[in-house]
Amino acid sequence: MIAGLMKTYSGVPCFCCGEPIAVSGRVARLQVDLNSEETIAQEFIARSKLCECENIYSVTDIRTYDGAPRRRIAKPRAAGSSA
Protein backbone atom coordinates (compact mmCIF):
# COMPACT_ATOMS: atom_id res chain seq x y z
CA MET A 1 0.00 0.00 0.00
CA ILE A 2 2.84 2.39 0.79
CA ALA A 3 4.46 1.61 -2.56
CA GLY A 4 1.30 2.86 -4.26
CA LEU A 5 1.70 6.24 -2.54
CA MET A 6 5.30 6.76 -3.68
CA LYS A 7 5.61 9.50 -6.27
CA THR A 8 8.06 9.30 -9.11
CA TYR A 9 9.30 11.79 -11.66
CA SER A 10 11.46 11.78 -14.77
CA GLY A 11 14.81 13.50 -14.63
CA VAL A 12 18.47 13.49 -15.56
CA PRO A 13 21.49 13.44 -13.24
CA CYS A 14 23.41 16.74 -13.20
CA PHE A 15 26.86 16.41 -14.76
CA CYS A 16 28.34 18.73 -12.11
CA CYS A 17 26.75 17.79 -8.78
CA GLY A 18 24.97 14.52 -9.61
CA GLU A 19 21.62 15.66 -8.22
CA PRO A 20 18.54 14.79 -10.30
CA ILE A 21 17.10 17.54 -12.51
CA ALA A 22 13.39 17.09 -13.16
CA VAL A 23 12.30 17.27 -16.80
CA SER A 24 8.92 18.31 -18.14
CA GLY A 25 6.40 15.81 -19.37
CA ARG A 26 7.02 17.00 -22.92
CA VAL A 27 10.72 16.14 -22.67
CA ALA A 28 9.94 12.80 -21.01
CA ARG A 29 7.65 11.93 -23.95
CA LEU A 30 10.62 12.45 -26.30
CA GLN A 31 12.17 9.37 -24.72
CA VAL A 32 9.08 7.32 -25.60
CA ASP A 33 9.18 8.67 -29.16
CA LEU A 34 12.88 7.79 -29.38
CA ASN A 35 12.13 4.17 -28.49
CA SER A 36 9.79 3.92 -31.46
CA GLU A 37 12.09 5.81 -33.89
CA GLU A 38 15.71 4.93 -33.16
CA THR A 39 17.16 7.20 -35.85
CA ILE A 40 16.18 10.48 -34.16
CA ALA A 41 18.56 11.89 -31.54
CA GLN A 42 16.89 14.41 -29.24
CA GLU A 43 18.78 16.73 -26.91
CA PHE A 44 17.67 19.40 -24.47
CA ILE A 45 19.18 21.87 -22.03
CA ALA A 46 18.56 21.53 -18.29
CA ARG A 47 19.79 23.51 -15.29
CA SER A 48 20.42 22.04 -11.85
CA LYS A 49 18.44 23.66 -9.07
CA LEU A 50 21.20 22.83 -6.60
CA CYS A 51 24.42 24.00 -8.28
CA GLU A 52 22.77 26.01 -11.09
CA CYS A 53 25.02 24.43 -13.74
CA GLU A 54 23.43 24.14 -17.17
CA ASN A 55 24.28 21.37 -19.63
CA ILE A 56 23.00 19.62 -22.73
CA TYR A 57 21.42 16.23 -22.08
CA SER A 58 20.16 13.49 -24.37
CA VAL A 59 16.75 11.89 -23.92
CA THR A 60 18.62 8.63 -23.39
CA ASP A 61 19.93 10.14 -20.12
CA ILE A 62 16.40 10.37 -18.66
CA ARG A 63 15.77 8.18 -15.60
CA THR A 64 12.87 7.68 -13.21
CA TYR A 65 13.44 8.95 -9.67
CA ASP A 66 11.45 8.25 -6.51
CA GLY A 67 10.05 11.10 -4.45
CA ALA A 68 9.37 14.70 -5.43
CA PRO A 69 11.65 16.91 -7.52
CA ARG A 70 13.90 19.43 -5.76
CA ARG A 71 12.49 22.95 -5.55
CA ARG A 72 14.62 25.95 -6.37
CA ILE A 73 15.50 28.07 -3.37
CA ALA A 74 14.83 31.67 -4.31
CA LYS A 75 17.83 33.90 -3.81
CA PRO A 76 17.30 37.53 -2.83
CA ARG A 77 17.67 39.88 -5.76
CA ALA A 78 19.56 43.13 -5.67
CA ALA A 79 17.38 46.20 -5.62
CA GLY A 80 17.53 48.01 -8.89
CA SER A 81 15.95 51.05 -10.42
CA SER A 82 13.32 50.65 -13.08
CA ALA A 83 14.32 53.01 -15.83
Q: Tell me the torsion sign for CA atoms 10, 15, 18, 19.
A: negative
CB 11 within 8 A of CB 22: yes
Give the C-alpha separation, 19 to 9, whole Å.
Answer: 13
pTM above 0.75, yes or no: no
- In angstroms, how far is CA 28 from the centroid of its own chain? 9
Q: What is the residue-averaged pLDDT of the chain?
A: 79
Q: Which is more confidently placed, 45 or 30? A: 45
Tell me the pLDDT tens digit for each residue of 32-49: 766 665 556 688 999 998
Give the C-alpha separation, 76 to 44, whole Å.
Answer: 28
Q: What are residue 4's phi and psi, to 5 degrees? A: -70, -20
Q: What is the pLDDT averaged over residues 1-26?
A: 84
Helices (H), 1-83: 2-5, 25-36
